[in-house]
Structure 1
Amino acid sequence: MSNNTPFVQIDLTPEYNMNYHERITIKPGMRSGKPCIRGMRITVYDVLSYLASGMTYQEILDDFPYLTQEDILACLSYAADRERQILLIQA
C-alpha cells in the first residue's frame, strides 16, 4: 500500500452492541472450548451456520426449542464483536 493512494476509513464499530457475555460461554472441556450458548452444547458457530444456510430465526427456534431469539442475537453480537475493526477501502 503506497502512502499516496487515497483511502476512505470506515469505522465498523456498532453504536449498539448487545451484551452477550452472560449468554455466550466458553468452557475448556465443552465442544473443544468453542463459544457455546448458555453453557449448552450448541455453539455460536452452529447458529451462525444455520443462519448462513438460509434458516430463519423461527426455523432455528422451532428446531431448538431451548434457544431464544436473544440467544440468536447474542451469537450475532459475539460474531460482530470478534470481527469489529477499522476497514480501509481504496477511494
Structure 2
Amino acid sequence: MIYQHIVSAPGVLGGKPCIKGTRISIELILETVANGASVADIVREFPQLSVEAVQEAVRYAIHALRSERIIDVDMAA
C-alpha cells in the first residue's frame, strides 16, 4: 500500500512512522483518537495536519495490525 502522508526515517522519532513534514507520529494520532478526539479535533489541535493525513494514519494502523501477530487478550481481567 502506498501512503502519501506517512514516512518513516531512522533519524526522525527513532524511525517511528509519522506524518510527512512533521514529527507527529501515527502513535500520537491513535492515542489522541483513543482519548476521544475526532478527526476535526486533531486537525484543530495540530493545524499542520490535514483531514486526509489523519484518516490515512488510521488506515495505516489498521493495515499494520492486519499483518501483525495477534496478542491474546484476557477478557476477564
TM superposition score normalised by structure 1: 0.68
* Amino acid of the structure 1 residue aligned with 2:32: Y
1:28 to 2, 6, 10: 10
**How many residue pairs get matched?**
68
Partner of 1:68: 50
- Deviations along 1:47-83, one digit per CA (max 9) or x if unpaired, are 0000000011111111111101101111111011111
Q: Which has the higher helix share?
A: 2
User: Offset at 1:84?
Assistant: 1.4
Greater RCO (Cα-Cα under 8 Å, separation 6 or more) = 1
Q: Which has the larger radius of gyration?
A: 1
Instruction: Extract unaligned runs of 5+ from structure 1.
Output: 1-18
Give the Cα–Cα distance (whole angstroms) in 1 for the partners of residues 2 and 25 of structure 2: 13
Q: Which has the higher strand share?
A: 1
Instruction: Extract unaligned runs of 5+ from structure 2.
Output: 71-77
Identity among equivalent positions (%) equals 32
TM superposition score normalised by structure 2: 0.79
1:56 to 30, 33, 38: 38
Would you say the 8 A contact 2:39–2:54 is kept in 1? yes
Q: Please, what is the CA RMSD of the aligned residues?
A: 1.7
